[in-house]
């Protein structure tokens, strides 16, 4: 999978440019497909550049916290199983 071609600032700029021009011309100008444009629009519309950056940071932090929580729940389940086996 290729890395991200456009920064968040550039994505916000492309979306704002599409408000003034047609979506197809903007997609053609930047070499993106319509599905990419609509995905960006769904994800970043209404955000300023700073807000979008904070959103990406929070999503990464949320993902890391979910991973930690899953590891802890697995650890607790193993400990519960161990205690049940030792009590019998």
DSSP assignment of 17-71, as one string?
HHHHS-HHHHHHHHT--HHHHHHHHHHHTT--HHHHHHHHHHHHHHHHHHHHHHH
C-alpha–C-alpha distance, residues 32 and 17, integer Å: 14
Give me the pLDDT at residue 3, please. Answer: 53
Give me the pLDDT at residue 88, please. Answer: 63
Average pLDDT over residues 1-28: 84
34 and 18 in a single domain? The answer is yes
3 and 40 in a single domain? The answer is yes
Name which residue leads in pLDDT, 11 or 87: 11
42 and 56 in a single domain? The answer is no
Range of the domain at 73: 47-88
33 and 53 in a single domain? The answer is no
59 and 38 in a single domain? The answer is no
Q: Which residue in this structure is represented by tokens 């929070």?
A: 58
Tens digit of each residue's pLDDT (9 = 90 or more) over 48-59: 888 888 988 999
> Can you say how many angstroms the Cα of residue 83 is from the centroid of all Cα atoms in its chain?
39
Give me the pLDDT at residue 1, please. Answer: 43
Would the pTM of this model clear 0.75, i.e. be above it? no
Give me the pLDDT at residue 37, please. Answer: 93
5 and 21 in a single domain? The answer is yes
């Amino acid at each position: 999978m290729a890395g991200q071609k456009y920064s968040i600032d550039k994505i916000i700029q492309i979306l704002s440019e599409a408000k003034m021009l047609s979506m197809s011309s903007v997609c053609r100008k930047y070499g993106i497909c319509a599905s990419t444009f609509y995905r960006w629009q769904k994800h970043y519309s209404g955000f300023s550049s700073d807000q979008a950056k904070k959103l990406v940071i929070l999503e990464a932090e949320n993902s890391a916290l979910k991973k930690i929580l899953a590891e802890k729940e697995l650890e607790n389940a193993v400990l519960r199983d161990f205690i049940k086996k030792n009590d019998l």
